[in-house]
Structure 1
Amino acid sequence: MTTAEKDTSYKTDALIASDIDAYLDTHQHKTLLRFITCGSVDDGKSTLIGRLLYDSKMIFEDQLAALEADSKTSGTQGAEIDFALLVDGLAAEREQGITIDVAYRYFATEKRKFIVADTPGHEQYTRNMVTGASTADLAVILIDARKGVLTQTRRHSYLANLIGIRHIVLAVNKMDLVGYDRATFDKIVAEYTEFATSIGIDTFTAIPISGFKGDNITALSPKMPWFTGPALLPHLETVELDQTADQARPFRMAVQWVNRPNLDFRGFSGTISSGSIRPGDAVRVLPSGKTSTISRIVTLDGDLDQAVAGQSVTLCFADEIDCSRGQVITAADAPAEVADQFEATLVWMDEDRLLPGRPYWMKIGTQTVSVAVQEPKYQIDINTLEHLATKTLDLNAIGVANITTDRDIPFAAYAEDQDLGGFILIDKMTNRTVAAGMIHFSLRRAQNVHWQATDLGREHHAAMKHQTPAVVWMTGLSGSGKSTIANLVEKKLARMNRHTFLLDGDNVRHGLNKDLGFTDADRVENIRRVGEVAKLMTDAGLIVLTAFISPFRAEREMVRGMMQPGEFIEVLIDTPLADAEKRDVKGLYKKARSGQLKNFTGIDSPYEAPESPEIRIDTTAMTADEAAQMIVDYLIP
């Protein structure tokens, strides 16, 4: 190669590199739109996304070849491509021709980048739809032109609006199968408008399309000259995002991580959810309420003079104040509210129904707290929007209930701030996500009721009695011998001049819990009340003995969580069901076997034995007196 050729080659390479850099720079600064497609089964959601990927040239040649081959296998006629196969990745989805999981896909045009979530249409997968919608800016609600507005159309529209998606596109799909008839389109739009208005959707964009044929997807179709636009993709490219609104709200940032690489640096890292911040601005840390000013805004690319909503930064304070993960940094003059009781909407996402009173983990922002859900105020009928009376929530049900956290947390109404107002509930035993929730407001009593400090605390009461408070929680089947053993333990402790109190399952139902039955929900509330009473008694310095079936691990762990570390002693009175049934002094098992007594533990209601109790009493190997002495020896070594 001559010198001139080399020079030309170098210049060409430099130009190519320059073009690539320019392209990457342009691509990097494009806005990003996150949207979901949802609707009823077989409305064409996956086909539409496949068409968008195809038309935006986001399919590689080998993918296209595989797609054409798969289309022939799936039975697509002629040379047509089955675009749904680009998105339906699970074998089960392809076999059934439906979407089960949430499929996320990325594509880009010259004007904007997109992340699209293809959400399931089946009612049983509503929880997957909620997951996909939780981060979306826009929802494309698909309707099959042949079927019109269906229950799932209403359900997904209601959820999209509930979750706070501000931009709705009504895509009336499969217009090719109704002869591109304008009257059909207008009828569907009119019906949807009536429903949308009733749930608070003021505006939406209606577009007649054919995802399979490509009509009105990237450009207006000559087959529907009566529709003047916009086509779907141009609308997605130009819809205005709400980032400006986020920046206009007061400053909020939940702390994800305390950044302390050395003794000379301490910062608090997180993503700004709203507002803006500059060095010198006064801030308040919640829930403690301590204040400081910002000394630095640190990023990997250097310090900033200003940071705004959506940016991930590390904030440094001018003062050494306590701040940790889960706390929220806010503008000092416009702090978020702090409370521990709220009204919220719940979307139940678990096959096991809600048990009011049972403690769940609540993940809100970057913190996790324990929460109890009260009996729902009502459940919402998606078709009629009627408020229905209910005592619980089943899978996919939407209801409104009061919730109580175990501590004060900073929050905002979900309609104002999704980061501080949205949460999920997690089952403490299984770690399954059971619900998604949106806070409406704090309850007035959360603001009006305050803890009254007293001069004499639990340490003083315990010292007066010369003993260490404890809760001996005896659990086991009916007839296992709990009450007998508990009574013997109390008598032995009395002879040792110990101050005790015995809470027996039958006795508390004569007074404190006389209003409760034996459903799972009532059993949960029964144990919650007893736990609160036991806690007060340990504050008084007593050794509390209990004898309750308490069949659920979650509630026993709830009571353990109320006590001081080491104060809760779980005792499993381990008696085989057959032996307990033989004793049956009260005749309860006989009634349960005959169907006269419902929800009886061990027969038609489950018993969850402790996995790691402090004490296990094998009643087949020792007498009641020996069992009682074993417990006393544990308490008083």
Structure 2
Amino acid sequence: MLDNNQLLRFTTAGSVDDGKSTLIGRLLYDSKSIFEDQLQAIESTSKKKGHDGVDLALFTDGLRDEREQGITIDVAYRYFTTPKRKFIIADTPGHIQYTRNMVTGASTANAAIILVDARHGVIEQTRRHSFIASLLQIPHVIVCINKMDLVDFSEEIYNKVIDQFEEFSSKMLIKDVRFIPISALLGDNVVNRSENMNWYQGAPLLHTLETMHISSDINKVDARFPVQTVLRPQRKGFIDYRGYAGRVTGGVFRKGDDVVVLPSGFTSKIKSINLNDRDLDEAYAPMSVAITLEDDIDISRGDMITRSKNTPEVVQDIEVMLCWLNNDSAKPRAKYSIRHTSNEQKAMIKEVVYKYDINTLMRRKDDLSLNMNDIAKVKIRTTKPLMVDSYRENRSTGSIILIDDTTNETVAAGMIV
């Protein structure tokens, strides 16, 4: 039965100390998804730290610095299974300097859990993470209003936080928003229904995650195959073999299909599709395969094989919604490396069109500098063409990252508009 379960990837986000790691620890603990030896190790560590019970946050805070400081720094991935569904959790940091890690953890999520401290309501970091979830087009957002035990399980405060979030989120494109009052520390409405909040008639968090509809984010129409490497094996039976290896990022490829290689524009037909030593009749996203063509064409890493009558844009100028992730500000017209699928080119930021004010979501044009955690619409020019779709149409061919050539740090992540 479990083999047929759908897999749900979800991320947790919110401000520091809102209880993200404690919530995940409670989910794992109450759903009995903790191994006995792991539980014993956490109990021992909790005693050393002077806690009366189990410190649930330790189930995800695995780095030494995290345990010493009591915060989450890196993205912690955890896996668990219930009789109804399999889950991959990405526990992301709340500190503003680790927003880039939140972008990483949320980039493949089907749902986002936004935690809000019931005492503080919606604050700037809540708005920032919610807006990033909107930009990444995460289809489901669950707003968990946590620490309800510290506000006497007040329905009035719960409704006040809902009003705050709805006023803000009305300006964003989020398809499905749900609200759940919880106490991650005590377990109210996490796995089991709360006896302290009888006024809440909705489902607990785990039931919501188990029954949530998962729609595929894979583009099944537009055939895209970015080439990662050229295979020229010299073993018996493969002397004349020339295959192009990569991962299908959209659509379906079949033997005999008419294809075009971009950016060159040369056309051919698919001769074979290979997976290890097997020949396949077709390949679809997200399969990793090798494709051979009937014609000898000069193809290298970064090129893209697509259907002849359904091609992406081939451009050197692109407009991108950019999240600036680096401590250092963007340098005017500085050169960066841009990575898009398997393609890497030099690029520069031509223009910052506008920036978002995170608190109001208003577009600002009075200050067009790019500093850490800024979100802006920018124009980028590359030295060689990229084969792109909009992020709305295809997450893989619609996303880019920028890398500083001198430090090799990822300075920005962007969605092509």
TM range (shorter): over 0.9
Where does the alignment leave 5 or more consecutive residues of structure 2 unmatched? none
Q: Is 1:55–2:30 an aligned residue pair? A: yes
Contact 2:222 2:310 in 1 (8 A): yes
Q: For residues 210 and 255 of structure 1, what CA distance do their matches in structure 2 show?
A: 48
**Secondary structure, counterpart of 2:170 in structure 1:** helix
Cα offset, 1:211, TM superposition: 1.5
Contact 1:338 1:411 in 2 (8 A): yes
Partner of 1:430: 407
Partner of 2:290: 314
Matches within 5 A, 1:40-439: 40-77=15-52, 80-243=53-216, 246-261=218-233, 262-300=238-276, 302-388=278-364, 389-439=366-416
Evaluate the alpha carbon distance shift between residue 111 and residue 312 of structure 1 in structure 2; reply closer, same or farther with a 3 A threshold. Answer: farther
- Which amino acid in 2 is paired with 1:221? S
**Secondary structure, counterpart of 2:321 in structure 1:** strand
Q: For residues 348 and 53 of structure 1, what CA distance do their matches in structure 2 show?
A: 33
Higher strand share: 2
- Which amino acid in 2 is paired with 1:210? S
Q: For residues 238 and 322 of structure 1, what CA distance do their matches in structure 2 show?
A: 49
- Which amino acid in 2 is paired with 1:371? A
**Secondary structure, counterpart of 1:418 in structure 2:** coil
Q: For residues 31 and 276 of structure 2, what CA distance do their matches in structure 1 show?
A: 33
Contact 1:220 1:228 in 2 (8 A): no
**Secondary structure, counterpart of 1:419 in structure 2:** coil
For residues 313-372 of structure 1, give each alpha carbon's deviation from its aligned partner in whole angstroms, at most 9, with x where no partner exists. Answer: 222223222322111222211111111011112211112210121110001111110001
Evaluate the alpha carbon distance shift between residue 237 and residue 290 of structure 1 in structure 2; reply closer, same or farther with a 3 A threshold. Answer: farther
For residues 124-170 of structure 1, give each alpha carbon's deviation from its aligned partner in whole angstroms, at most 9, with x where no partner exists. Answer: 11111112112222111111112111111000000111122122111
- Which amino acid in 1 is paired with 2:135? L
**Secondary structure, counterpart of 1:226 in structure 2:** coil
Q: For residues 241 and 131 of structure 1, what CA distance do their matches in structure 2 show?
A: 20
Contact 1:339 1:408 in 2 (8 A): yes
Q: For residues 258 and 430 of structure 1, what CA distance do their matches in structure 2 show?
A: 29
For residues 201-250 of structure 1, give each alpha carbon's deviation from its aligned partner in whole angstroms, at most 9, with x where no partner exists. Answer: 2421212222112222223333323323332122222323232x525331
Greater relative contact order (Cα < 8 A, sep 6+): 2
Q: For residues 301 and 156 of structure 1, what CA distance do their matches in structure 2 show?
A: 45
Residue-pair matches, total: 412
- Which amino acid in 1 is paired with 2:231? N
For residues 248-293 of structure 1, give each alpha carbon's deviation from its aligned partner in whole angstroms, at most 9, with x where no partner exists. Answer: 3311121122222233322222222221222222222211122222
Evaluate the alpha carbon distance shift between residue 269 and residue 354 of structure 1 in structure 2; reply closer, same or farther with a 3 A threshold. Answer: same
**Secondary structure, counterpart of 1:405 in structure 2:** strand
For residues 387-422 of structure 1, give each alpha carbon's deviation from its aligned partner in whole angstroms, at most 9, with x where no partner exists. Answer: 222242111111222110001110011122121121
Q: For residues 208 and 186 of structure 2, what CA distance do their matches in structure 1 show?
A: 19
Matches within 5 A, 1:447-462: none
**Secondary structure, counterpart of 2:208 in structure 1:** helix
Matches within 5 A, 1:601-612: none
Contact 1:377 1:390 in 2 (8 A): no
Q: Is 1:35–2:7 an aligned residue pair? A: no
Higher helix share: 1
Identity %: 49
Report which stretch shifted further, 274-283 or 151-160. Answer: 274-283
Cα offset, 1:59, TM superposition: 1.9
Contact 1:376 1:390 in 2 (8 A): no
TM-score, L = length of structure 1: 0.62
Computed over aligned residues only, the root mean square deviation of the Cα atoms, in angstroms, reads 1.9
Q: For residues 203 and 197 of structure 1, what CA distance do their matches in structure 2 show?
A: 12
Cα offset, 1:101, TM superposition: 1.6
- Which amino acid in 2 is paired with 1:240? H
Q: For residues 9 and 59 of structure 2, what CA distance do their matches in structure 1 show?
A: 19
Matches within 5 A, 1:568-607: none
Partner of 1:614: none
Greater Rg over alpha carbons, structure:
1
Cα offset, 1:433, TM superposition: 1.0
TM-score, L = length of structure 2: 0.93
Q: For residues 178 and 248 of structure 2, what CA distance do their matches in structure 1 show?
A: 31
Matches within 5 A, 1:483-502: none
Q: For residues 277 and 111 of structure 2, what CA distance do their matches in structure 1 show?
A: 31
Matches within 5 A, 1:452-491: none
Evaluate the alpha carbon distance shift between residue 110 and residue 341 of structure 1 in structure 2; reply closer, same or farther with a 3 A threshold. Answer: same
- Which amino acid in 2 is paired with 1:311? M
